[in-house]
Amino acid sequence: MEKLIEVKNLKTYFYTEDGVVKAVDDVSFSIEKGKTLGIVGESGSGKSITSLSIMRLVQSPPGKIVGGEVLFHGRDLLKIPLNEMREVRGNDIAMIFQEPMTSLNPVFTVGRQIAEAVMIHQNCDKKKAWEKAVQMLSLVGIPNPEKRIKEYPHQLSGGMRQRVMIAMALSCSPELLICDEPTTALDVTIQAQILDLINELKERTGAAVIMITHALGVIAEVADDVIVMYCGRIVEHADVHSLFKEPLHPYTQGLLRSIPRLDQNDEKLSSIPGMVPKMTQMPDGCPFHPRCHCALDICRQVSPEAFPVRGRMVRCLKYHPEYEQQWKEEAAGE
């Protein structure tokens, strides 16, 4: 399959008073047409900054994309002039943000906000754009679209607003849809509706989706491939089935074990000890070693690279062929 977008060694750093924060550190992945890539990680892991970097929406200063490539149809989005980038945003790549309450403009009707994007990108007149807006609203399942289109965001419920956001994002039939925590602020029944909707629309339009979330359940439902991020780096990249069946990285294992499951009975919930290190004071070696249950001396010294293990990419010395022997010896010694 053709690769729609390819991110290579992306690095986004923030220059703060306390030092340089490597929010995205050497992140690479690619997505094929019609596929969904899930990005999971806890707050501060760099998952949102990754998507903002693709769109070149990172606030600068303090943020700066310091390296890497974002190839969209073979064209490096990081190198094209800003006015061309503006054509790409909203038209080829669209984004849905987490907060449906704050990402809509409160002083314009939802119809005007959808029509605005259509008019800018599709070069059509106002009347056509409004027709398109009505059509989009009914596509995302809003009842009475002709009436709703004249309403302001505050008149709509949270689920409705998120539907409006999706309608707006899809109005120019983007090839790539980036969803940044699209259901976090919503209730489970509404979340189920929105996830179904995104899946349905993906199938109909053949768009690729990047789904960013901290909820592993959501990932399991929608993603084909999954990236697990920790401290700005990808620690594991695998297809969704093998990731959930047999997580390799200790962090992924910890994450999966720390969510209460419905089929689980009263055994103690296992948790990952400690917390995410401060981004300005990253530990030496593997960033996860202070919280890792199987960290050894070698992990405190060597920062692992990502390398292929059993058909996926993992960033853990435990699986590295070069260190495997050393790791086993140390483990036996302890």
Partner 1 sequence: MSNAQNAPLLEVQGLKKWFLVKKGHFGRPDRYVKAVNGVDFTVGAGETLGVVGESGCGKSTMGRSVMRLIEPTAGTVRFDGVDFTALSPQELRKRRADMQIIFQDPFASLDPRMTVGDIIGEPMDIQKLHASRAEREEHILDLCQLVGLDHDYLKRYAHEFSGGQRQRIGIARALALSPKLIVCDEPVSALDVSIQAQVINLMEEIQQKRGVAYIFISHDLSVVKYISDKVAVMYLGKIVEIAPKNRLYDVAAHPYTQALMSAIPIADPDHGRRRIRLEGDLPSPMNLPTGCCFHTRCPYATERCAQEEPELKLVGENHYCACHLTVG
- Which one of residues 219, 279, 316, 317 is an interface residue with partner 1 (CB under 8 A)? 219
Residue 221: both structure tokens together: 């439902």
Q: Least Å distance between CB 183 and partner 1?
A: 9
- Which one of residues 205, 271, 280, 301 is an interface residue with partner 1 (CB under 8 A)? 271
Instruction: Tell whether residue 322 is a contact of partner 1 (CB under 8 A).
Output: no
CB nearer partner 1, residue 170 or residue 255: 255
Applying CB under 8 A, the span of 108-116, 122-130, 186-194, 298-306 interacting with partner 1 comes to 186-194
In whole angstroms, what is the distance from residue 188 CA to residue 99 CA? 16
Instruction: Tell whether residue 155 is a contact of partner 1 (CB under 8 A).
Output: no
Instruction: Tell whether residue 6 is a contact of partner 1 (CB under 8 A).
Output: no
Return the half-sphere exposure (C-beta side, CA atoms, 13 A cut-off) of residue 88.
22
In whole angstroms, what is the distance from residue 186 CA to residue 162 CA? 9
Give the number of other Cβ atoms within 10 Å of residue 310's Cβ.
Answer: 10
Instruction: Tell whether residue 36 is a contact of partner 1 (CB under 8 A).
Output: no
Asked whether the beta carbons of 139 and 116 are under 8 A apart, the reply is: no
Instruction: Tell whether residue 294 is a contact of partner 1 (CB under 8 A).
Output: no
| Residue among 298, 67, 53 at smallest CA distance from 178 | 53
Instruction: Tell whether residue 214 is a contact of partner 1 (CB under 8 A).
Output: yes
- Which one of residues 215, 282, 294, 302 is an interface residue with partner 1 (CB under 8 A)? 215
In whole angstroms, what is the distance from residue 236 CA to residue 286 CA? 13
- Which one of residues 196, 246, 305, 329 is an interface residue with partner 1 (CB under 8 A)? 196
Give the residues lining the site for partner 1 (CB under 8 A): 42-43, 143, 157-160, 187-193, 195-196, 214-221, 223, 240-241, 244-245, 254-256, 258-262, 264, 268-273, 275-276
